Amino acid sequence: MKFPPENFEMLRQFLIMLRQGEIELDVGKKSMKALIQMVSDPDSVAVNNIVSLAEQTDISPASITRLAKLLGFKGFNQFQLIFKQRTKIPSDYYSQKVKLLIENKADKPNRVFENQLATTLENMRFCISQNSDEDVDKSVKLLARSSRVFIFGHKQSSAMANVLRYGLCLLRHNVQVLGQYEHGLAVALGQLRKNDLVVIFSSAPYSNLTVDITAQVKKQLCKVLVVTDSFLSPLNDHATVSIIVPTGGQYYTNSLAANCIFIEGILSLTARELGQSAVTKLQNHEKLMTNLNENS
């Protein structure tokens, strides 16, 4: 663990380790409480000066400065900077991965496929080992029993949102993607009601839009099922339940293969949970397909 933390995600990990006793640091109870509050609400640190932040966290400006220095920062300004940059996408995030592929240009095509298969298996094994049966069961019940389900994914994650939407629509009613851009996300968010389920897909580097939407739907008292790539994901702060599916691999952007396997698994479990109603829904779908074929 580098000291001081180089970015917000490293600070989040540092805090987790500190709370679990894996790191020993003489942080007082009030300062620890303030640090937890800051990490839970990073926007307040990013936009406020030290005096305003002190009022919000119930410690003095001097205590905030001491805390920042205790964490290895030169002062409050350096500490605040990682909150301001927490969701900034590195300018070379994708090109660096392509450079690695070029460096391994001697690899035969089948070797590239074998490497991708190996990382997908590794990602899926991590998913299985780190997500408890309780969290998976809770996710299944939310997908099966919520009156309405909305699904959101930004950019690449929109593919996962559509895969889940298609499969879930075959099993139950009232499932849709959350907002198309031509209609406006604000309009879509305005349609949400208390206890609606919103499923959100996102992986690093996390977009500001996705983080903001996750926080907003939580404020609207919706249930939030987050499918993300790390326990350190900022989306977890607003989740009713989080499922971790890593996206690492040789691909030059996030690998979504393990996400596809997870979606197929969670939909199979949801079908089992719905029981006869899922069978009836699929039978009606099959009849419609038959009629369409007959009339074609």
- Answer for the pair 172, 192: CB distance below 8 angstroms, yes or no: no
pLDDT value of position 73: 92
- Tell whether the model's pLDDT for residue 168 goes beyond 70: yes
Query: Please, what is the Cα angle at 178 between 172 and 183, to 5 degrees?
Result: 125
- pTM of the predicted model as reported, rounded to 2 decimal places: 0.71
Q: Which residues fall within 8 angstroms of residue 172, CB to CB, at 6 or more apart?
A: 144, 149, 274, 277, 278, 281
- ω into 234 cis (within 30 of 0): no
pLDDT tens, position by position, 30-70: 999 999 888 878 878 988 999 999 999 999 999 999 999 99
pLDDT value of position 183: 61
Sorting pLDDT into bands at 50, 70 and 90, what band is 17? confident
pLDDT tens, position by position, 229-288: 987 788 988 999 999 999 988 888 889 999 999 999 999 999 999 999 999 999 999 999
DSSP code at position 42 = H
Least confident of 69-73, 167-171, 225-229, 291-295: 291-295
**Alpha-carbon gap, residue 267 to 250, rounded angstroms:** 27
- Three-class SS string for 205-243? CCCHHHHHHHHHHHHCCCEEEEEECCCCCHHHHHCCEEE
Average pLDDT over residues 108-115: 88
Domains of the chain from N-terminus onward: 8-84 (1.10.10.10), 98-291 (3.40.50.10490)
pLDDT value of position 19: 79
Q: Whose CA is closest to 261, among 123, 79, 86?
A: 123
Candidate ranges 68-82, 108-122, 138-152, 176-190; pick with highest mean pLDDT: 138-152
Neighbours of 186 (CB within 10 A): 9
- Tell whether the model's pLDDT for residue 160 goes beyond 70: yes
By CB atoms closer than 10 A (0-12, 13-18, 19+), residue 7 is middle
Q: Whose CA is closest to 42, among 233, 243, 201?
A: 233
Q: Whose CA is closest to 210, among 196, 224, 190?
A: 224
Average pLDDT over residues 144-148: 97
What average pLDDT does the structure give for the chain? Answer: 89
pLDDT value of position 91: 60
pLDDT value of position 206: 83
Average pLDDT over residues 120-129: 91
**Alpha-carbon gap, residue 241 to 199, rounded angstroms:** 10
What percent of the chain is modeled with pLDDT above 70?
94
Sorting pLDDT into bands at 50, 70 and 90, what band is 89? low
pLDDT value of position 277: 97
pLDDT tens, position by position, 178-212: 975 556 788 889 999 999 999 999 998 788 889 89
CA 209 to chain CA centroid, nearest Å: 12
